[in-house]
């Protein structure tokens, strides 16, 4: 946004900008430092209700139960990003085998199944320890990206309608559970107590699939064979 032909003019603007930003930053820093050392926040509420939430990890409880509506919208954001990327750049599903060598091939053979295992583990462990759908989905997506980069073509045969179904499975599930909860309990996204952990697990499972696929396809959209300076 800033470019001037005159070098000294440029320097003055930079200096002014730095001074302005430093001023604002110090005000923000002052506000941050003025926060008390121990605070009242929502932790007590979470702890009080965690036993009926269906999981024992508080972060998962917040993400998939107390504030699951945010997670719902967030899955839509992921979908929007992918739709946006696809509307800008139609990338033909082709192989990206720029990198081909035996070391990479062996590594991929070892790493990708391992990352799949790690992903499933993260998904399962999220109920009672740090972990969950997003972490699992990211690892899964990374595994897919590794496959793409090494020349294997995970999306060669899995494209078109089946791929589209898999991408929207998470949002569709959220919508279905919303409708189900409206009928079953009259409140949006309220889980019947006995079914809470199962519902959470299904949501997380499908979310992992959608997240992994979306992330790897987002990466794919950025891939380009041209070299830029």
Residues 17-46 that bind another protein (CB under 8 A): 17-18, 21-22, 24-25, 27-43, 45-46
110 vs 182, which CB is nearer to another protein?
A: 182
Contact 46, 61 (CB under 8 A): yes
Tell me: does residue 218 bind another protein (CB under 8 A).
yes
Q: Of the candidates 209, 218, 58, 56, which has an alpha carbon nearest to the alpha carbon of residue 134?
A: 209
d(CA 139, CA 117): 10
Q: Please, what sign has the CA dihedral across residues 229, 214, 160, 80? A: negative
Residue 202 binds another protein (CB under 8 A): no
CA distance 182 to 213: 29
Q: Applying CB under 8 A, does 185 fall inside the site for another protein? A: yes
Closest CA to 215 of 148, 126, 120, 124: 148
Handedness of CA 111, 114, 116, 122 (dihedral sign): negative
Contacts to another protein from residues 142-161, by CB under 8 A = 161
Write the interaction track for another protein spanning residues 44-83; mark x where CB under 8 A is met and - where it is not.
Answer: -xxx-x--------xx-xxx-xxxxxxx-xx-xxxxxxxx
- To another protein, the closest distance from the beta carbon of 93 in angstroms equals 16
Closest to 134 in 3D by CA, of 75, 189, 216: 75
* Listed ranges 103-111, 117-125, 143-151, 221-229: which one lies at the site for another protein (CB under 8 A): 221-229
- The answer to the question of residue 3 lying near another protein (CB under 8 A) is yes
Closest distance to another protein from the beta carbon of 105 (Å): 27
Least Å from the CB of residue 49 to another protein: 6
CA dist 212 and 125 (Å) reads 17
Shortest gap between Cβ of 198 and another protein (angstroms)?
Answer: 16
Judged by CB under 8 A, which of 146, 189, 209, 213 binds another protein? 189
CB of 162 to another protein, least distance (A): 11
- Return the closest-CA partner of residue 68 out of 51, 48, 83, 53: 53
């Amino acid at each position: 946004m800033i470019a001037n032909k005159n070098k000294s003019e440029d320097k003055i603007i930079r200096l002014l900008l730095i001074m302005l930003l430093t001023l604002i930053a110090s005000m923000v820093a002052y506000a941050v430092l003025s926060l008390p050392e121990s605070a009242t926040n929502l932790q007590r509420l979470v702890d009080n209700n965690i036993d009926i939430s269906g999981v024992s990890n508080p972060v998962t409880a917040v993400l998939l139960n107390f504030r699951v509506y945010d997670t719902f919208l967030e899955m839509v954001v992921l979908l929007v990003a992918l739709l946006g990327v696809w509307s800008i750049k139609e990338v033909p599903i082709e192989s990206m085998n720029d990198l081909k060598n035996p070391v990479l091939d062996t590594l991929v053979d070892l790493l990708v199944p391992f990352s799949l295992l790690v992903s499933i583990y993260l998904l399962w462990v999220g109920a009672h320890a740090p972990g969950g759908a997003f972490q699992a989905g990211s690892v899964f997506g990374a595994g897919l990206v590794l496959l793409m980069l090494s020349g294997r073509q995970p999306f060669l045969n899995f494209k078109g309608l089946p791929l589209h179904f898999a991408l929207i499975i998470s949002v569709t599930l959220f919508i279905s559970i919303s409708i189900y909860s409206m009928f079953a309990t009259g409140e949006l996204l309220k889980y019947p107590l006995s079914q809470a952990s199962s519902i959470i697990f299904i949501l997380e499972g499908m979310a992992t699939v959608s997240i992994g696929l979306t992330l790897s396809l987002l990466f794919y959209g950025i891939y380009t064979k041209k070299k830029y300076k």
